[in-house]
Amino acid sequence: MNMKWKLMIFFLISSLLLTNLPQKVEASVSVSARNAILMEQETGRVLFEKAAHEKRRIASITKIMTAILAIESGRLDEMVKVSNEAVVTEGSSLYLKPNEKIKLEDLVYGLMLRSGNDAAVAIAEHVGGSLEGFVFLMNQKAEEIGMVNTHFNNPHGLDDSDNHYSTAYDMALLTKYAMENETFREISGTDEYRAPNPSEKWDRVWRNKNRLLTDLYDYCTGGKTGYTKLAKRTLVSTAQKGDMNLIAVTLNAPDDWNDHINMFEMGFRKYDMVQVVDDGMLSKVKDKFYKKRVFLAHEYSFPVTEREKEQFHIELVLEKPKDEWKETGTAPAVVGKAIIYFSDKPIKELPIYFEQEGEQKPSMFERIKNLFTAMTGVRTNG
């Protein structure tokens, strides 16, 4: 065999070996962004990432924090008097007028849909008492959520400070938190909003700048756009298909619309939400006292690829029944926990409830109360 044929066979075998090597799911996505992440919303599992923990300028996706703080203030029905400082804020604007009064709820819509920097300042001054007071609240909330590589210096994301930054991962955490709020979900997912205009005969009409939501991607449920000269294009978006909800974040992404669509499509194609445990009575309990008396109040699902579906196992940890429990036939509401493992790592703990004789299962309120009681000290990292 001559050298030419030997080389051809060598390259053919090499190509076949490379083709059949197991590939990471992430390798199937190409993004223009410098930093990117795709996260499953319910569990927080990261399905794709690219330099997701690098600190970067984030531009107007900052306003997700501004919006959720305004919503959580419980003051959306209040009227806000717009200051001159708010009116002269540079960049994208709702064109508010000095001293006009506008409902806080309307400002939040204008903030999220049209990215009004004047709205951001007006919200901050009203909710925080001052810009400085509101920035303090922003950083306090960031710490609470677990955004360890984030620092806010303003409510809008303008390039007025080197001390205003976050990461793709931290912004996904923030969005995960915000999407748990029904009002935020509604505002973020609104195509168009009308707000009264006190000095004109017509309403203000704001159409969402998020083109994924308005015309590019049928499964998009919301998000926030951003751009400054230093941050470049930034984008947070959310999407739902079936029982799966995804969060995508890109920083400095020239082709962000397609980046997000490609990440979403990969996630929906490669992953399924697998129900790991059912709610209801636990059948695999050996202790006679607990048999047919202990149950889980909630089911739990987790996103996995087809190859990962067999990598779960569940450990039931129950308190040893006390003599007085056996004598009375009763026990505390929560008597243990179910620890769910994926790939030999714990990913979730669920409280195990005890059903008292002659009583119905706890109400939803009681379950939530008992859940917080049972988990105290367990999730110290939030």
For the chain, the average pLDDT equals 88
User: Among candidates 267, 276, 289, which has minimal Cα distance to 336?
Assistant: 289
Q: Can you give the residue ranges of every domain in the chain?
A: 27-270, 273-375
Residue 60 annotated to the active site: yes
Name the CA dihedral angle for 204, 205, 211, 215, rounded to a multiple of 10 degrees: 180
Catalytic residue among 50, 63, 232, 337: 63
Side chain identity, residue 27: A
**What is the residue whose two structure tokens read 């008396």?**
293
Condensed to tens digits (0 to 9), the pLDDT of residues 327-359 reads 888 889 999 999 999 999 999 999 999 988 755
Q: Which of the residues in the chain have pLDDT under 70?
A: 1-27, 358-382
Instruction: Using DSSP, state whether 289 is helix, strand or coil.
Output: coil
Query: CB 88: neighbour CB atoms within 10 A?
Result: 11
Global pTM reads 0.84
CATH of domain 273-375: 2.30.140.30
State the pLDDT at residue 9.
Answer: 41
Per the residue annotation, which of 92, 115, 188, 237 is the catalytic one? 115
* CA separation, residue 325 to residues 81, 127, 287, 296, 328 (Å): 61, 50, 13, 20, 5
Q: Which residue from 61, 57, 270 is spatially nearest to 156, judged by alpha carbons? A: 61
Q: What is the pLDDT of residue 378?
A: 35
Q: Catalytic annotation on 93?
A: no
Catalytic site residue from 50, 60, 224, 237: 60
| CATH class of the region 27-270 | alpha beta
Render pLDDT for 250-262 as a digit per residue (tens, 0 to 9).
999 999 999 999 9
